[in-house]
Structure 1
């Protein structure tokens, strides 16, 4: 079974980056917050499911490669 997750940065400050994410690029309704200090993520709705983990891992991977928080992206598997 294929899995897709899309994400888009909506806010950033000195401590955190906030993303919207979801399985449909036109309906990203969930929030993911990345802590800049320790690169840990938390779910805005408290639901730590496969889509959340997939988005979090992809954002972290892109951040590690580019040394900056990505504006948007997607992960497919």
Structure 2
């Protein structure tokens, strides 16, 4: 079974980056914030599930790979 998550940057400050994310790129229903210093994430709705973890891990991987926080992206497995 495939799992997919899409994400798009909403805002960025010196401390963190906020993304909206979900399984439908036309209807994001959730938000997460990445702490730039610790590279840890929190989810606004406090639901720590597979979709949230998948988005968070992909965002960290892209940040490491590119050297900047991505504007948008997706993860499929």
Q: TM-score, normalised by structure 1?
A: 0.98
CA distance in 2, matches of 1:42, 1:12: 15
Which stretches in structure 2 are left out of the alignment for 5+ residues? none
Partner residue, 1:69: 69
Deviation at 1:29, TM superposition (A): 1.2
Q: Aligned residue pairs: how many?
A: 77
Partner residue, 1:50: 50
Q: TM-score, normalised by structure 2?
A: 0.98
CA distance in 2, matches of 1:55, 1:71: 13
CA RMSD of aligned residues (A): 0.4
Please list every run of at least 4 consecutive aligned residues from structure 1 whose deviation after the TM superposition is greater than 4 angstroms: none
Equivalent residues in 2 for 1:1-77, closer than 5 Å? 1-77=1-77
| Partner SS state of residue 65, structure 1 | helix
CA distance in 2, matches of 1:29, 1:63: 23
CA distance in 2, matches of 1:28, 1:60: 20
CA distance in 2, matches of 1:71, 1:44: 19
Deviation at 1:68, TM superposition (A): 0.4
